[in-house]
Chains A and B, each alone.
Chain A
């Protein structure tokens, strides 16, 4: 645990509404060691972004952290004062958003945005910051970086812009990067390049990465471990190879069977019947039980076992290999 850059313990996020309290993240725990990539998968609305935003301290009101702990390099950060948390953002935690077209301020040259970030976090002079900004662009593979440093975002293509965003996220050399679906908005042809770039940079620097994605294929290629989320809960967590080859939770099994890459042997892709429940209408006990092909009586009465407590991989009483 000492080597973990990020350690999330039993995280709970709540959204108080007028007459109820929604809970988009509930009892989520995971660790990311230095230099490793944790893939986070799950259907849209599963709470992946909420988890990432909670870690970097950017939950939009009224959502807030209502329980659990977040540790970064041995420092507890979920209860830090606002100003201390701000200093940490960009410096120790970098973030890459989904859409590079909207992530950059259209009215400021990219060099300006790089320099302001570097000057904010690092003890450097203005000329040094300018040199670093160019170096940061070179590192992410922007050709003729010195010349393009004063270009505006609209003068770059989508893929190039996402490179700029990555340069911005990494320019103060954070120890953790949260990438929330960094390729979803990009052309298929550049998706692989961006993922490879992210992976290379983080491996070189020993940065821990929380990579949120829909794409099992991306996870298979890049991640060391994978967390599967369903309706705000973690249902499976384990090393990528094991989870991909021997999924334990019925939901993960369904997810794998519906992924082209993992389902190579099958004639046609499977589909999990039904849809993920809305947060204001969660089923009792295990949230997945109404859709679960292996459902048993216990599932509608008792929530699945706690991943942490049972030391297991899947939050399911009847998980494969759980030996029920």
Chain B
């Protein structure tokens, strides 16, 4: 277990280094921040001074190394546009994104699993068929369209929920939460549904098909032949076997929720890191873009690591050497 964890962690670090390099070098060659930062009236000397100030005159490896050294300490430099530390700006924006992503993920997992199991067990019922048909809408409509439709229906037509922003927030000192005020919660509903819907339908369809596959297995037949109750067969024998293949994909999906948040945050003008990223692209704000990419990949890699370990905890067949006795 320890060796497994160490190996996985090591692999994760390598992945992060590569992502860091790709992100950094990609932005290094996309657009020129100096153009944006200085207005129309600039001189060659101005440009040179700014380049030196930003460290852009140094060789590429040196820049990359500085970037990494800073990144490890949570220091991503100073935003070209706002002139403030990137870490501070991100820390301000991160709670909004994490709250949105967490609520979406919980919705996606709870309803995805619940409906997946339901539609697998009641495979020929009208309710299951209706849910399956509706879920096609969930996977085929693009996120931004779902968001716009929801806004149209619940904000414009019914006027029940706000169409943009995060509502009132409560400052806890290190975290500004929208979960403690009524307007914050109301503002969260539509974006969370928009962001979570796709993942939910995906998880649901996956759980359903895996569960149907498991229900065809011999050990399920045998469990029935032993006279176990259907409830036990479904939830004790089938569900656990369904979880193993589903966990990986679900983990990846949760990672992509944070990435997909860019679109949802744009549609709902949700003041999170996704919106921050979109705004910095327009300004070629390299430090912010690089920091954002690193943040996303750390989350992806972290989630993957947790998924692998979970997998390991659930499936006894992976416990190599835990019991060497052979019959």
Q: Is B225 an interface residue (CB 8 A)?
A: yes
Evaluate contact between A107 and B316: CB separation under 8 angstroms. yes
Interface string of A83-98 (1 = CB under 8 A from B): 0001111110011010
Evaluate contact between A107 and B227: CB separation under 8 angstroms. no
8 Å CB interface, B209-252 against A? 217-219, 221-230, 232, 236-237, 240-241, 244
Evaluate contact between A104 and B222: CB separation under 8 angstroms. yes
Nearest residue (CB) in A for B325 is: A155
Q: Which residues of the other chain, A, contact B232 by a CB distance below 8 angstroms? A: 116, 120
Evaluate contact between A120 and B218: CB separation under 8 angstroms. no
B217 contact from A102, A113, A143, Cβ within 8 A: A102
Evaluate contact between A152 and B316: CB separation under 8 angstroms. yes
Q: Is A151 an interface residue (CB 8 A)?
A: yes
Known: A103-B219, A104-B222. A90 touches B227 (CB 8 A): yes
Q: Is B323 an interface residue (CB 8 A)?
A: yes
Count A-B pairs with CB separation below 8 Å. 96
Evaluate contact between A103 and B222: CB separation under 8 angstroms. yes
Q: Which residues of the other chain, B, contact A165 by a CB distance below 8 angstroms? A: 222
Q: Complex: how many Å from CA A165 to CA B237? A: 16
Q: Is B326 an interface residue (CB 8 A)?
A: yes
A117 contact from B228, B314, B316, Cβ within 8 A: B228
Interface string of A157-174 (1 = CB under 8 A from B): 101110001001100100
Evaluate contact between A157 and B327: CB separation under 8 angstroms. yes
Evaluate contact between B227 and A102: CB separation under 8 angstroms. no
A126, chain B: closest CB distance, angstroms: 16
Evaluate contact between A106 and B317: CB separation under 8 angstroms. yes
Q: Which residues of the other chain, A, contact B240 by a CB distance below 8 angstroms? A: 107-108
Nearest residue (CB) in B for A98 is: B218
Evaluate contact between B237 and A108: CB separation under 8 angstroms. yes
A54, chain B: closest CB distance, angstroms: 13
Known: A90-B226, A117-B228. A58 touches B221 (CB 8 A): yes
Q: Complex: how many Å from CA A165 to CA B222? A: 9
Chain B interface residue number, banded: 20 to 34
* Consensus secondary structure, chain B interface: helix
Size of chain A's interface in residues, with CB distance under 8 A? 41
Nearest residue (CB) in B for A82 is: B230
Q: Is B315 an interface residue (CB 8 A)?
A: yes
Q: Complex: how many Å from CA A113 to CA B232? A: 11
Nearest residue (CB) in B for A154 is: B317
Evaluate contact between A58 and B327: CB separation under 8 angstroms. no
Q: Which residues of the other chain, B, contact A97 by a CB distance below 8 angstroms? A: 218, 221-222, 225
Evaluate contact between B327 and A148: CB separation under 8 angstroms. yes
A228, chain B: closest CB distance, angstroms: 25
Q: Which residues of the other chain, B, contact A104 by a CB distance below 8 angstroms? A: 219, 222
Evaluate contact between A117 and B227: CB separation under 8 angstroms. yes
Q: Which residues of the other chain, B, contact A95 by a CB distance below 8 angstroms? A: 222, 225-226
Evaluate contact between A121 and B227: CB separation under 8 angstroms. yes
Q: Is A44 an interface residue (CB 8 A)?
A: no
B235, chain A: closest CB distance, angstroms: 12
A151 contact from B229, B241, B314, B325, Cβ within 8 A: B325
Interface string of B144-173 (1 = CB under 8 A from A): 000000000000000000000000000000
Q: Which residues of the other chain, A, contact B314 by a CB distance below 8 angstroms? A: 107
Known: A152-B316, A155-B323, A157-B326. A102 touches B226 (CB 8 A): no
Known: A105-B219, A106-B219. A155 touches B327 (CB 8 A): yes
Q: Which of B222, B223, B236, B315 has the most CB of A within 10 A?
A: B222
Evaluate contact between A86 and B317: CB separation under 8 angstroms. no
Interface string of A272-289 (1 = CB under 8 A from B): 000000000000000000
Q: Is A99 an interface residue (CB 8 A)?
A: yes
Evaluate contact between B218 and A103: CB separation under 8 angstroms. yes
Q: Which residues of the other chain, A, contact B230 by a CB distance below 8 angstroms? A: 86
B210, chain A: closest CB distance, angstroms: 14
Known: A120-B227, A154-B316. A99 touches B218 (CB 8 A): yes
A307, chain B: closest CB distance, angstroms: 28
Known: A58-B225, A90-B227, A152-B316. A102 touches B326 (CB 8 A): no
Q: Is A46 an interface residue (CB 8 A)?
A: no
Q: Which residues of the other chain, A, contact B225 by a CB distance below 8 angstroms? A: 56, 58, 89-90, 94-95, 97, 169
Nearest residue (CB) in A for B237 is: A105
B18, chain A: closest CB distance, angstroms: 35
Q: Complex: how many Å from CA A152 to CA B227? A: 21
B241 contact from A91, A106, A142, Cβ within 8 A: A106
Known: A107-B316, A156-B326. A117 touches B219 (CB 8 A): no
B321, chain A: closest CB distance, angstroms: 11
Q: Which residues of the other chain, A, contact B236 by a CB distance below 8 angstroms? A: 108, 116
A89 contact from B219, B226, B244, B325, Cβ within 8 A: B226
Q: Which residues of the other chain, B, contact A90 by a CB distance below 8 angstroms? A: 225-228
Evaluate contact between A102 and B224: CB separation under 8 angstroms. no
Nearest residue (CB) in A for B243 is: A107
* Complex A-B, nearest 10 residue pairs according to Cβ-Cβ distance, in ascending order: A90-B227, A160-B327, A89-B227, A102-B218, A95-B225, A156-B327, A90-B226, A152-B316, A105-B219, A103-B222
Apart from A152-B317, A155-B325, A155-B327, list 20 A-B contacts with CB within 8 A. Answer: A58-B224, A58-B225, A86-B227, A89-B227, A90-B228, A102-B218, A104-B222, A107-B241, A107-B244, A108-B236, A109-B316, A116-B236, A120-B226, A120-B227, A152-B316, A154-B317, A156-B326, A157-B326, A165-B222, A168-B226
Chain A residues near B (Cβ < 8 Å): 56, 58, 86-91, 94-95, 97, 99, 102-109, 113, 116-117, 120-121, 142-143, 148, 151-152, 154-157, 159-161, 165, 168-169, 172
Chain B residues near A (Cβ < 8 Å): 217-219, 221-230, 232, 236-237, 240-241, 244, 314-317, 323, 325-327
13 A-B pairs, CB-CB below 8 angstroms?
Answer: A89-B224, A90-B225, A90-B226, A97-B218, A102-B219, A103-B219, A120-B232, A148-B325, A152-B316, A155-B327, A156-B326, A156-B327, A168-B226
